[in-house]
A and B are shown apart, each in its own frame.
Chain A
Amino acid sequence: MAGKRRILSRGVAIVGAGMSTFGVFKEKTTRDLFVEAFSEMRNSVDKGMEVSDIEALYVGNFSSDLFEGQLHLAPIMADWIGLIPKPANWIGLIPKPATRVEDACASGGLAIRDALIAISAGFYDVVLVGGTEKMTNLPTERVTDTLAAASDVLYEAPAGFTFPGLYAAIATAYMEKYGATVEHFMGVGIKNHDNGALNPKAQFKATIRDLMNRKIAKAKEKESALPTWKDEWDFLKDGHANPIVAWPVRLYDCSPITDGAACLLLVAEELAKNFTDEPIYIIGTGQGSGCAMHNRDNVTSLEGAKAAAEEAYQMAGVSPQDIKIAEVHDCFTIAEIMASEDLGFFKPGEGARAVEEGRTSLKGTKPINTSGGLKAKGHPIGASGVGQVIEIWKQMRGEAGERQVPDVDLALTHNVGATGGTCVVHIYERR
Chain B
Amino acid sequence: MMELREFNSTSFNKFLSEKRLMASQCKGCKSMYLPPRPLCTRCYDGEMEWIELKGKGILVAYTVIAVGPTFMIEEGYDRKNHYCSGIVQLEEGLKISARILGVSIKNPNAIKIGTPLEVDFLERGEGENKKTFLAFRKRD
Contact = CB atoms under 8 A, between A and B. Distances in A.
Contact of B113 (A159, A161, A173): A173
B17 interface: no
Given A155-B97, A159-B97, A293 B87 contact: yes
A245 B69 CA distance: 12
A247 B68 CA distance: 12
Interface string A31-46: 0000000000000000
A165 B77 CA distance: 14
A176 B113 contact: yes
A294 interface: yes
B9 A246 contact: no
A162 B69 contact: yes
B73 interface: yes
Q: How large is the interface on B (under 10, 10 to 19, 20 to 34, 35 or more residues)?
A: 20 to 34
Interface string A230-246: 00000000000001111
Interface string B73-101: 10001010011011100000001111100
Interface residues of A, number: 38
A157 B66 contact: no
A249 B77 CA distance: 17
A246 B64 CA distance: 5
Contacts of B95: 294-295
Contacts of B35: 154-155
A429 B82 CA distance: 48
A162 B65 CA distance: 8
A140 B66 CA distance: 13
A169 B63 contact: yes
A247 B64 contact: yes
A243 to B, nearest CB: 7
Contacts, number: 107
17 contacts: A145-B69, A154-B9, A156-B97, A157-B69, A158-B97, A158-B133, A159-B98, A159-B133, A159-B134, A160-B83, A161-B65, A168-B65, A169-B63, A173-B61, A246-B63, A247-B63, A294-B95
Interface in A144-200: 144-145, 148, 152, 154-162, 164-166, 168-173, 176
A146 to B, nearest CB: 10
A244 B68 CA distance: 12
B70 A173 contact: no
Interface string B53-66: 00000001111111
A299 interface: yes
A303 B99 CA distance: 25
Contact of B65 (A141, A165, A176): A165
Given A164-B65, A166-B63, 10 more contacts: A144-B67, A152-B97, A160-B83, A162-B68, A162-B69, A169-B87, A172-B63, A172-B113, A173-B113, A293-B97
A372 interface: no
A168 B63 contact: yes
Contacts of A249: 63
Nearest to B35: A155
Contacts of B9: 154-155
Nearest to B59: A172
B16 to A, nearest CB: 9
Residue of B67, B68, B108 with highest tally of chain A CB at under 10 A: B67
A159 B65 contact: no
Given A158-B134, A160-B99, A292-B97, A247 B67 contact: no
B72 interface: yes
A164 B67 contact: yes
Contacts of B79: 243
A420 interface: no
Contacts of B108: 247-248
Contacts of A243: 66, 79
A245 B65 CA distance: 6
A156 B73 CA distance: 17
Given A159-B97, A294-B96, A170 B61 contact: yes
Contacts of B87: 169, 293-294, 299
| Of listed B61, B65, B70, B111, residue having the most chain A CB within 10 A | B61
Nearest to B111: A172
